[in-house]
Amino acid sequence: LMLAEPMSLERLRRVVDKRFLAYSRFRQKAVDTASGAWWQDDADFDLDWHVRPAALPGRGNGRGVRGETAEKRALERFVSQMASTPLDKGKPLWQFHLVERYRGGSALIARIHHCYADGIALVQVLLSLTDTARDPGKDKNLARAWLKQDGAEVARRVGAVERYTKLGGRMLGKGMEMVQDPTLAA
């Protein structure tokens, strides 16, 4: 994401904490074992590990056409490096890297594993980090405000996935009880 105005790391952390983490799934890590896969709350969740500063090497002063081109290439190299670096499976599988000074504003690189949602839903979750106006108002429900009706529908579906996952877990538990004691099936 290219931001027209500079953003500080502290401000980004506040936005991620308030808006991104409003979706409880992003505080969870995927656990995959021989007996199955499930979501588990990360007891050691650390926002500072997930929202990190980044610097572009060799970008110079960024002035003029050559400077902007070099800066863009440096950002592209950094994004390529991040795309080919695996996320830590012992933590929730996402990170934000903020380049605080990029072309007069900032650049934000989001790394989110596809296990959290499909591409369209993730794009819309990312849009929930942004506002359509400079001053959005204090009491707005930001998790559903970003794309008006379309966004509310996606937020509803993302919440439904969480509910269905919990229901599936309960059904699996009951099924395991019936396997252990077949008389329960009656």
Per-residue model confidence as pLDDT tens digits over 145-178: 544 444 555 555 556 656 666 777 777 777 777 7
User: Other C-beta atoms within 10 Å of 9: how many?
Assistant: 16
Q: Pick 66 or 85 by higher pLDDT.
A: 85
pLDDT in tens, 40-58: 999 999 999 999 999 987 6
Least confident of 1-15, 49-63, 108-122, 137-151: 137-151
Active-site pick, 50, 97, 113, 114: 114
pLDDT in tens, 111-127: 999 888 877 888 888 88
Q: Which of 128, 118, 130, 117 is nearest to 150 (CA)?
A: 128
Helix (H) / strand (E) containing 145: helix 142-145
Instruction: Provide the residue count of the chain.
Output: 186
Provide mean pLDDT across the span 137-145: 53
Name the phi and psi angles at 117, rounded to 5. -175, 170
Pairing type for strands 2-3 and 28-33 reads unpaired
For residue 97, indicate whether it is catalytic.
no
Given a contact cutoff of 8 angstroms between Cβ atoms, the answer to whether 79 and 102 are in contact is no
| pLDDT confidence of residue 98 | 97
Q: Which tokens go with 77?
A: 């190299």
Cβ-proximal residues to 111 (8 Å cutoff; 6+ apart), any chain: 82, 83, 87, 94, 95, 96, 97
The whole-angstrom separation of Cα 53 and Cα 79 is 13
139 has a pLDDT exceeding 70: no
Provide mean pLDDT across the span 65-90: 89
| pLDDT confidence of residue 65 | 54
1 has a pLDDT exceeding 80: yes
Q: What is the mean pLDDT of the chain?
A: 81
- Of the chain, the percentage scoring pLDDT greater than 90 comes to 44
The single-letter DSSP state of residue 186 is -
User: Other C-beta atoms within 10 Å of 98: how many?
Assistant: 23
Q: Which of 85, 25, 41 is nearest to 97 (CA)?
A: 85
Provide mean pLDDT across the span 88-104: 95
Sign of torsion over alpha carbons 57, 58, 60, 64: negative
